[in-house]
Amino acid sequence: MKLVLCSASPRRREFLEKLGIPFEQAPAHLDETQRPGEAPLAYALRLAVEKAATAERPGAVALAADTIVVADGEVLGKPRGRSEAAGMLARLSGIEHRVITAVCVGRRAVAVETRVRFARLSEAQIRWLAASGDGDDKAGAYAVQGLAGAFVERIDGSYTNVVGLPVAETLQLLEEAGVALPWT
Active site residues per annotation: 66
Q: What is the DSSP string of the chain?
A: -EEEE----HHHHHHHHHHT---EE-------PPPTT--HHHHHHHHHHHHHHTT--TTEEEEEEEEEEEETTEEE---SSHHHHHHHHHHHTTSEEEEEEEEEETTEEEEEEEEEEEPPPPHHHHHHHHHHTTTTTSGGG--TTSGGGGGEEEEES-HHHHHT--HHHHHHHHHHTTPPPTT-
- What is the C-alpha to C-alpha distance for residues 56 and 135, in angstroms, rounded to an integer? 31
